[in-house]
């Protein structure tokens, strides 16, 4: 990839969600580009297509969703990726914090077993090595007393800590791009800034690109280098932070 080529390029993306009852034009002719290390804030009202865009980037839309246009990551059209290529993309080169990710943590398994599983499945680490890597990861994301966090069930941790665990998991395989879908909506004001400060540390340390989705304009403006706004599935504006 040359220096000038975008890390992520979305060209004329159009997505319709089809069901027996209705057909929803979720995205219409959406284009955007992101460079390495850049923080793009994506805003838009509920239903404007933000989550659809993130899922389209990862090719995670349901099979009933019809799509045209192109998504390229590191110069490669994601539509051409085979299964191993897609696996490397999802959670590998692109970290993903889905909307309501904390609710997606398995409530009947310890946090540690869920983090360690990632290292076992994705990096083929044996149990002991995966455990060590997990503890190290939790520490790196400033989860105090990482051993206690490792052995806790999600309900034993605060919302802020759970969201930090979700961030750590999204970052575990050292992605070049983080897609964060309303990662702070369940947190109170102070914890919001804590989490975003943590993402900013990662952004600067590793030249991570961040696509941050929120409907909180103040929050987006505080962190983003650039803003994009979806309105009814169309890109209503893009521009530098004021």
Report if residue 146 touches ligand ADP, rule: CB under 6 A.
no
Distance from C-alpha of 91 to C-alpha of 132, rounded to nearest angstrom: 20
Q: How many CB atoms lie within 10 A of CB 11?
A: 14
Distance from C-alpha of 240 to C-alpha of 41, rounded to nearest angstrom: 10
For residues 3 and 46, which CB has a smaller minimum distance to ligand ADP in the complex? 46
Q: Tell me the residue length of the chain.
A: 242
The item of Mg ion, ligand ADP, none sharing an interface with residue 158, based on CB under 5 to 8 Å by kind, is none
One of 26, 137, 228, 229 touching ligand ADP (CB under 6 A): 26
Distance from C-alpha of 231 to C-alpha of 187, rounded to nearest angstrom: 25
Report if residue 63 touches ligand ADP, rule: CB under 6 A.
no
Report if residue 52 touches ligand ADP, rule: CB under 6 A.
yes
For residues 116 and 230, which CB has a smaller minimum distance to Mg ion in the complex? 230
The item of Mg ion, ligand ADP, none sharing an interface with residue 24, based on CB under 5 to 8 Å by kind, is ligand ADP
One of 9, 17, 70, 140 touching ligand ADP (CB under 6 A): 17
229: helix, coil or strand? strand
The DSSP-derived string for 17-46 is EE-SS-EEEEEEEEEEEE-TT-EEEEE--T
Distance from C-alpha of 27 to C-alpha of 228, rounded to nearest angstrom: 14
x/- map, 32-51, ligand ADP, by CB under 6 A: ------------x-xxxxxx
Residues near ligand ADP (CB under 6 A) are: 17, 19, 24, 26, 44, 46-52, 62
């Amino acid at each position: 990839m040359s220096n000038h080529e975008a890390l992520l390029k979305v060209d004329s993306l159009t997505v319709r969600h089809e069901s027996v009852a209705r057909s929803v034009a979720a995205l219409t002719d959406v284009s955007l580009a992101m460079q390495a290390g850049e923080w793009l804030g994506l805003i838009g009202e509920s239903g404007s297509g933000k989550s659809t865009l993130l899922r389209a980037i990862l090719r995670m839309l349901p099979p009933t969703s019809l799509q045209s246009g192109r998504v390229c990551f590191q110069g490669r059209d994601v539509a051409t990726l085979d299964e191993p290529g897609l696996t490397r993309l999802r959670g590998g080169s692109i970290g993903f914090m889905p909307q309501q990710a904390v609710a997606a943590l398995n409530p009947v398994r310890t946090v540690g077993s869920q983090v360690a599983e990632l290292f076992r499945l994705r990096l083929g680490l044996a149990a002991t090595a995966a455990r060590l890597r997990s503890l190290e990861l939790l520490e790196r994301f400033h989860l105090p007393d990482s051993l206690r966090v490792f052995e806790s069930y999600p309900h034993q941790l605060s919302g802020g800590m759970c969201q930090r665990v979700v961030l750590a998991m999204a970052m575990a395989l050292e992605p070049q791009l983080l897609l964060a879908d309303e990662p702070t909506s369940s947190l109170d004001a102070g914890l919001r800034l804590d989490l975003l400060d943590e993402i900013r540390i990662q952004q600067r340390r590793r030249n991570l690109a961040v696509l941050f989705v929120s409907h909180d304009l103040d929050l987006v403006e505080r962190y983003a280098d650039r803003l994009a706004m979806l309105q009814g599935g169309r890109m209503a504006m893009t521009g530098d932070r004021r």
